[in-house]
Amino acid sequence: MNAASREIPRPWRRLLRRAAIALAAVIVTSLLVVLLLRFVPPPTTAFVVAYRIATPGPTPVDRRWVPMAKIAPSLAIAVVAAEDQTFPAHHGFDLDSIGKAWDERSEGRRMRGASTISQQVAKNLFLWSGRSWARKGLEAWFTLLIELTWSKQRILEVYLNVAEFGPGVYGAEAAAQRYFGTPARALTQRQSALLAAVLPSPRKLRADRPSAYVAERARWIERQVGQLGGPAYLGAE
């Protein structure tokens, strides 16, 4: 037994050993889960579970998983234009947006959203809403795992299937059917922009009956899509 071991009381050594084993188990388990979800559709998400718990009485949840091939390219580029224009290039985190958000917080202004699509996938699948440092740390961990093990196409496919587009309406297929009576593969450019426009607050904003704000935001998204080059912007992956 070396000197360093003798300096630590046995109960503390036992506690540290158990903590190390527990941490290793969490790391391995989270990695295995993320690897599995690279290939299979998520059976549910943390946000869906939270919605069911928070909503009293019968809680209708509309979720319909469809592969990327059955989602209109116009919706994929619309959500990227609206939520994360550097998505094809970054490695999970938009450092410029994070820096701007931090500056705004330091100046006492309301913080802008700086989450990438990869971060939103991590949050929706595994975490809870909120701004605690613990949640942010876990979000960063799962984002890193997702970026290391999934392709960009898989990240976007999962995002389009788990994003909330209205109260209890999750994913592109459910939203397209609910609000426009059409499958996700048949969404028009305008319909796609309207769906992307409600993502900041899907329980208050409506894609099928857009307010002036949603209509204007949808027009802005369409302009951004044009400036990015349309769906071809995502074709390099």
pLDDT in tens, 148-204: 999 999 999 999 999 999 999 999 999 999 999 999 999 999 999 999 999 999 999
- Band of pLDDT at residue 56, cut at 50, 70 and 90: confident
pLDDT in tens, 66-114: 999 999 999 999 999 999 999 999 999 987 766 565 545 555 545 545 6
Give CATH for domain 42-234: 1.10.3810.10
**What is the structure's pLDDT at 128?**
84
* Position with higher pLDDT, 71 vs 18: 71
Residue 17 has pLDDT above 50, yes or no: yes
- Band of pLDDT at residue 22, cut at 50, 70 and 90: confident
Phi first, then psi, for residue 41 (nearest 5°) are -65, 140
Residue 12 has pLDDT above 50, yes or no: yes
- Band of pLDDT at residue 19, cut at 50, 70 and 90: confident
**What is the structure's pLDDT at 237?**
46
Residue 137 has pLDDT above 80, yes or no: yes
Exposure string of 116-147, with b = 16+ CB inside 10 Å and e = fewer, is bbbbbbbbbbbbeeeeeeeeeebbebbbbbbb
Strand stretches in the chain, DSSP E: 62-63, 164-166, 169-170
H-run or E-run covering 163: none
Residue 60 has pLDDT above 70, yes or no: yes
| Rounded percentage of the chain residues whose pLDDT exceeds 70 | 89
Q: Supply 98's token pair.
A: 């994070």
**What is the structure's pLDDT at 69?**
96
- Band of pLDDT at residue 10, cut at 50, 70 and 90: confident
Residue 175 neighbours by CB under 8 Å, 6+ apart:
165, 166, 169, 184, 195, 207
Full-model pTM: 0.87
DSSP bridge partners of 170: 63, 164
* Mean per-residue pLDDT over the chain, rounded: 89
**Dist CA 222 CA 201 (whole Å):** 19
